[in-house]
Structure 1
Amino acid sequence: MTTLNTLSGCVTRYDPQALPVCAAQAIVLQWVTPLAASERVPLRDALARVLAADVISPIDVPAHDNSAMDGYAFDGTALEGATDPLTLNIVGKAFAGHPYTGEIAARTCVRIMTGAPMPAGCDTVVPQEHTQPDGDSVTFAAHAVARGANRRRQGEDLAKGLAALRAGRVLRASDIGLLASLGLVDVEVKQRLRVAYFSTGDELRAPGDPLDAGCIYDSNRYTLGAMLKRLDVEAIDLGMVRDDPVALGATLRQAAECADVVLTSGGVSVGDADFTREQVETLGDVTFWGLAMRPGRPLAFGRIWSGGRPGVGHPALLFGLPGNPVATMVTFYQIVRPALLAMAGATPQPVPLIPTRCDAPIRKRPGRTEFQRGIATRDGTGQWRVTPTGSQSSGALSTMSEANCFIVLAHEASDLDAGDVVDVMLFDGLV
């Protein structure tokens, strides 16, 4: 037994062959070294890339005071002591890209459109729906608008010289638009993380090939490739490797030579043909090889070297994922994904957990974290509710496809009754 005293919220004693999920996540992140190399890319190619340096705004946004809506701009002093209704003479028009440059006299206004620069001398906009235009004048209730209303000030969104975006951010569509609004055409991002992956097993056949007796199609390589694509890494598919220690060792060395991280699926259990752990211990170090987790107990983590022994050649982190397809996906999302993001230089962003009432009883054994597949919906009162999908077998990929969330059952939790509250991790934005 080993003690972990620094992991807040995690059990402090564990069996090294059944590591609590929170302890495994902490250990993995301790091993991660973020990539240092960066490159400049055009904005159109920057989506989902990791920002390498703070972006400092070169301009004020907005660049000038402007109107927040269609209406009439005027000097708000006209409201002081005014009696209803207030009538102003219209002396001109202002459009986005076509400002009004004339002078504003007392009790005059300018017809103005959303986004148009505020004319000099104007500080207030009355919305057009509150007015009654009549030829060259407009009338409205003075109490319908306060002085300074509906005016966006220069630099209100972002002031020149301040950080618009911080390093470590995974760029979203809104970020691309923000950078474009600053007049930028490219941005400094981290180089893509290189991740090599392959499946192991004599029973595997590629989709499209004849399916021999006792064989199955290789689905794990396709799910791994798809999950990696969502992370925008440089994914290197090394195919399928048979249950042979020599072939497996050669592929692991090849993977370590060309990648920063290596993912395998299958071969990490205790069967006679499970050689991954054996080969990893030859090529490097295994830090842990099992999780107190369902599905996904058999998982090996460590570091391997392309030279065939520790310290020789190019190093790569190794995640030996279980072979059952749902277990492969669960361990990827809960253990591998956070590590890949951190290694890519991203600032960690925990996936939100939503407290949700469960509509069915769930059997749960204390001493392991479980990630059951569920379908979360809102009831007629707007409250979240969740129901487990059918089979929770780690080989039942159909119920993973049917689900829209994980039902997260904590390490020390036991059986739950229908109506109990559970934590739900929605797939949207994760899977």
Structure 2
Amino acid sequence: MSGCGCAEVVTSGLLDLFDARGRMIAAARPVTGSERVALAEAARRVLAEDVLAALDMPGVDNSAMDGYALRLAERSDQGLPVALRVPAGAGVMHLPAGGCARIFTGAPLPLGADAVVPQERVTLDDRGRMHIEGELTEGANIRRRGEETREGELLLPAGARLDAAAIALLASHGIDEVVVVRRLTVALLSTGDELIEPGTARVPGQVYDSNRALLGALLDQAGCEVLDLGVIADARVDLHQAFGLARDDADLVICTGGVSVGEEDHVRPVIERLGGIAFHGVAMKPGKPFALGYLGDSLQAGTPLIALPGNPVASLVGWQLLALPFVQVRQGREAAPLQRFPVTAGFSRRGPRGRRELLRVVLDWAAGTPVARLAGGQGSHMLSAASQAHGYLVVDANQHVEEGHAYQYCPIAQFLD
């Protein structure tokens, strides 16, 4: 956690936050390689190839609700006798002339029927004949064969990430295996002589490593394979050895701490010795020392490396705003667009100097419309506020926050990907 460099100072040459995000997305390249997996194991995976519809969907004309199927031309003031009962799963039947069919949601429409009347609009007389209340048009309450998809049509494109709805869609077509992009392997390490593992005894001056726990959970959530290299000491020889291992075994390296410009910040010089830096420093608070680099000959030919600040909230913000879209593109999908919309501030606060600030806020809905309130202390080391926040109020550089005024808000839920 050494040398975060997140103090309130103005530094020249910093990249604008959204420019840096655009550069991250442009620099990312999808990994190669794919594998076939069972649908039951495909959650959060990315399709490597298009999936075509295996069936017409629906497979037959069927009823959209519980009711009665009939020929409109045979509707009569005398009512219609109920000649058939058609449950879901039944075969396709023929509707006898002059009669109607009791039918249930999803059941095949009898041949000859051209409308379904909802059961709520039906009365049965003492002879059991069906009478309709109100008007009914041809095709009413019928789901037509193939109205959702036709066999051979594109069902899901390559690059789609398989969430629960997508998996259900594939299952509805009888698909039990899919070809997906291989998992992205990410080497993860923290730097800092003061860091120790949770669960071990602590002496004054030592700090439990929360960043690897944070990023390990985020990488798992994003569907990555994590290569945990542990805590690396603030020594160039140790960093050189760890980065060499990561370069050879991973598709991406993520490290935290030691990326600023202090005397004990050795990450940048080691990266430059083993590869290079694409950019370093973003005009955001927290998270200024963020860097994109590489191990090897170039960013495209080598192993990309993302260096996050040591303070945990700065690391979290750097992941959400900058690292996550890079990972998404590396996984073979599109980077999710950043969701922002105006929300009224329920507080006043002096504005940041020279950088956009991302204030951790909760939304108060007591008045019926959302009002942003500070989630707690805003220090980049304060995880308590980050753990409670609903989102970020994005405050432009040198702009004060005034209670009752609207500012851009980024919901955190969009990063739970």
**Counterpart amino acid of 2:308?**
L
Q: How does 1:283-302 map to 2 (within 5 A)?
A: 283-302=274-293
Is 2:379 the counterpart of 1:393? yes
Counterpart of 2:183, as a letter, is: R
SS at match of 2:24: helix
Equivalent residue number for residue 403 of structure 2: 418
Looking at structure 1, the residues matched to 150 and 338 of structure 2 have their Cα atoms a distance apart, in angstroms, of 31
Equivalent residues of 2:24, 2:326 under 8 A apart: yes
Match for residue 105 of structure 1? 97
Q: TM (normalized to structure 2)?
A: 0.93
Residue 16 of structure 1 contacts residue 288 of structure 1 at CA under 8 Å; is this kept in 2?
no
User: CA offset at residue 416 of structure 1?
Assistant: 2.1
1:86 Cα deviation (Å)? 6.3
- Confirm or deny that 1:64 pairs with 2:60: yes
Q: In structure 1, what is the equivalent of residue 88 of structure 2?
A: 96
Answering whether residue 143 of structure 2 is matched by residue 167 of structure 1, we say no
Q: Taking structure 1 as reference, are residues 282 and 17 closer, same or farther at Cα in structure 2, changes over 3 Å only? A: farther
1:77–1:147 Cα contact (<8 Å) kept = no
Distance 1:318 1:421 in 2: 37
SS in 1 for 2:218: helix
Distance 1:172 1:109, change over 3 A: same
- DSSP 3-state at the match of 1:93: strand
Aligned residue number for residue 341 of structure 2? 354
Question: Structure 1: any 5+ residue segments left out of the alignment?
Answer: 1-14
How many residues are matched? 405
Identity fraction in percent: 36
Q: Which residue of 2 aligns with 1:8?
A: none
Deviations 1:118-142 (A, max 9, x none): 0000121111111112343111224
Residue 376 in structure 1 maps to residue 366 in structure 2 = no
Rounded to whole Å, the distance in 1 between the matches of 2:43 and 2:371 is 33
Q: 1:406 aligns with which of 371, 376, 392?
A: 392
* Aligned mates of 1:293, 1:369 — CA distance in 2: 5
> 5+ residue gaps in structure 2?
1-10
Q: 1:372 and 1:153 mapped to 2: Cα distance?
A: 51
Distance, in Å, in 2 between the alignment partners of 1:380 and 1:133 is 50
Alignment check: 8 A CA contact 2:36 2:178 kept: yes
- Aligned equivalents of 1:359 and 1:166: distance in 2? 43
Q: Give structure 1 regions of 4+ aligned residues with deviation exceeding 6 angstroms.
A: none
Show CA shifts across 1:324-383 (max 9, x none): 0000000011110000000110122213223211111132236422211010243443x2
Q: Match for 2:37: what amino acid? A: V
The residue aligned with 2:247 is: 256
Asked if residue 136 in structure 1 is aligned to residue 90 in structure 2, the reply is no
Alpha-carbon distance in 2 for matches of 1:28, 1:86: 72
Aligned partner of 1:10 in structure 2 is none
CA distance in 1, matches of 2:109, 2:364: 47
Q: Kindly indicate whether the alpha-carbon contact (under 8 Å) linking 2:394 and 2:408 is maintained by their aligned counterparts in 1.
A: yes
Q: Secondary structure at the match of 1:428?
A: helix
Aligned with 1:228: secondary structure? helix
User: 1:152 is aligned with what amino acid?
Assistant: R
Q: Confirm or deny: 8 A CA contact 1:86 1:142 kept in the other structure.
A: no
Residue 338 (structure 1) aligned with residue 325 (structure 2)? yes
Q: In 2 relative to 1, CA 238–86 (structure 1 residues): closer, same or farther, beyond 3 Å? A: farther
The DSSP-based 3-state class of the residue aligned with 2:413 is coil
| Aligned counterpart, 2:315 | 328
Q: SS at the partner of 2:40?
A: helix
State whether structure 2 residue 214 is matched by structure 1 residue 223: yes
Q: Secondary structure at the match of 2:273?
A: helix
Aligned equivalents of 2:147 and 2:336: distance in 1? 27
What secondary structure does 1:268 align onto?
A: coil
* Equivalence for 2:5: none
Matched, 1:317 2:317: no
Query: What is the rounded CA distance, in whole Å, between the counterparts of 1:77 and 1:342 in structure 2?
Result: 57
Tell me the distance in 1 between the aligned counterparts of 2:402 and 2:78: 66
Aligned partners of 2:298, 2:315: CA distance in 1, in Å? 29
CA contact (8 A) 2:121 2:134 kept: no
Counterpart contact for 1:194–1:261, Cα < 8 Å: yes
2: CA distance, partners of 1:152 / 1:86: 28
Cα pair distance change 1:16/1:76, threshold 3 Å: farther
